[in-house]
Structure 1
């Protein structure tokens, strides 16, 4: 639907903004859509709620497509070891994602064996989730890393057992008709309101122990996937805002 033009204060005797039909400070330039913010990390009015603390029907087993085998209780869902990754039934492309997570309060293991999970955009691009509070491992596998590619800009982890937040802006890669990459995937990530990835171009779908590339084009849409790495990570308040391409 074409947005109605609303005259407001402005100028029409100014130069055109390069690459557009609009004057600088044009009073007739379409207004941005109104979005009502949520409170304290809650979903804004145009968000797709993926998990509200009770209803996990937006998710399925990544292996079988069956309902998830994770626990859903007390306002969160929790990884059950061996049940496998879960993914959304819906597919998304460019997006803004919010989720909250908590690593186990009881510390078990060290390095990659402590509070490990992952957030996969399109099911392919992993933002690592790990308990890195006084816990050290390879830098490109720490919490907030684009896994195997780029360490986070800071270690902003809270103590084990405390609720933490991820806010991720993801732009999916694009290929032209000949299969040539025209835009790599790009991630901006905030961990507990601290910027840990800044407009970071991924080197390709993330991998373990090997490098990544864009040799194989893939669709610009895919599911959001959460990883079962064997640790009882808890998740709550998951919502996503699809962004215009």
Structure 2
């Protein structure tokens, strides 16, 4: 026992001696220097963001078949009309800010009330739904990764009020043969409240059946037409 204590004391002494021989700057790094980004004030986007929609036009959006997006615009917002729309630009890893509003006049219940969706990389749906005093299946309510992961909490505001999603998304990684190496992950804050925390996305969003794994590269952000007049505004994205 004394032998082991002597060894431990010797190692501790050596460690202390080694620390004494080091300087603070030995563990200080001067490069690379982080880029300077000016945060947006109020609802403005950060200086390095790509503004996808600022309320003036839909020049950055198109239909699934490449035609100009034609959703109705008013008061710097765009409202779901006929058919999905998606960004012309494709993305991989990103930070996304998007504001949405369900109709103030409540119609329907469960999935028929203020339903839309934000598809990350065109295939993984972050649900948009009016879940203010509106019950539905938990992995299909607002803040869920639809049919996969329920939100940690229900952070919905009343119908007719603008709500905010801030999304941090890391794309999946596939091998040369198309095999999935690393699953996609997503963190979501709804109205400043954490609802998805580094959640693994198991595969494509499917209404019926299990998620599917399909190899892909960069892809657009898609907004869903689910037959309800949900509105969007102030959409920007930062590529990571």
TM-score after normalising by structure 1: 0.86
1:50 and 2:52 aligned: yes
Structure number with bigger Rg:
2
What's the counterpart of residue 9 of structure 1? none
What's the counterpart of residue 68 of structure 2? 67
Name the Cα RMSD after superposition.
1.5
Distance 1:66 1:14, change over 3 A: farther
1:25 and 2:28 aligned: yes
- Which has the larger share of helix? 2
Distance 1:23 1:227, change over 3 A: farther
1:106 and 2:109 aligned: no
Q: Are 1:54 and 1:73, in contact at CA under 8 Å, matched by a contact in 2?
A: no
What's the counterpart of residue 231 of structure 1? 228
> 1:87-236 residue pairs with structure 2 within 5 A?
87-214=86-213, 216-219=214-217, 221-236=218-233
Deviation at 1:178, TM superposition (A): 3.0
Give me the whole-angstrom Cα distance separating, in 1, the residues matched to 2:137 and 2:208.
Answer: 11
* Superimposed CA distance per residue, residues 204-234 of structure 1 (whole angstroms, 9 cap, x where no aligned partner): 11111211132x3122x10000000001011
* Superimposed CA distance per residue, residues 49-90 of structure 1 (whole angstroms, 9 cap, x where no aligned partner): 00001121000112x32111210111100012xx10000001
Give me the whole-angstrom Cα distance separating, in 1, the residues matched to 2:154 and 2:166.
Answer: 15
Partner of 2:139: helix, strand, or coil? helix
- 2:239 is aligned, of 216, 233, 242, to 242
Q: Are 1:118 and 1:227, in contact at CA under 8 Å, matched by a contact in 2?
A: yes
Distance 1:178 1:67, change over 3 A: closer
What's the counterpart of residue 4 of structure 1? none
Distance 1:110 1:29, change over 3 A: same
Distance 1:147 1:14, change over 3 A: farther
Distance 1:14 1:137, change over 3 A: farther
Give me the whole-angstrom Cα distance separating, in 1, the residues matched to 2:68 and 2:174.
Answer: 33
Give me the whole-angstrom Cα distance separating, in 1, the residues matched to 2:199 and 2:23.
Answer: 35
Give me the whole-angstrom Cα distance separating, in 2, the residues matched to 1:185 and 1:203.
Answer: 8
What's the counterpart of residue 86 of structure 1? 85
Deviation at 1:14, TM superposition (A): 6.1
Partner of 2:181: helix, strand, or coil? strand
Give me the whole-angstrom Cα distance separating, in 1, the residues matched to 2:45 and 2:134.
Answer: 32
Aligned pair count reads 219
Unaligned runs of 5+ in 2: 1-21
Give me the whole-angstrom Cα distance separating, in 2, the residues matched to 1:200 and 1:14.
Answer: 41
What's the counterpart of residue 7 of structure 1? none
Runs of 4+ in 1 over 3 A off after TM superposition: none
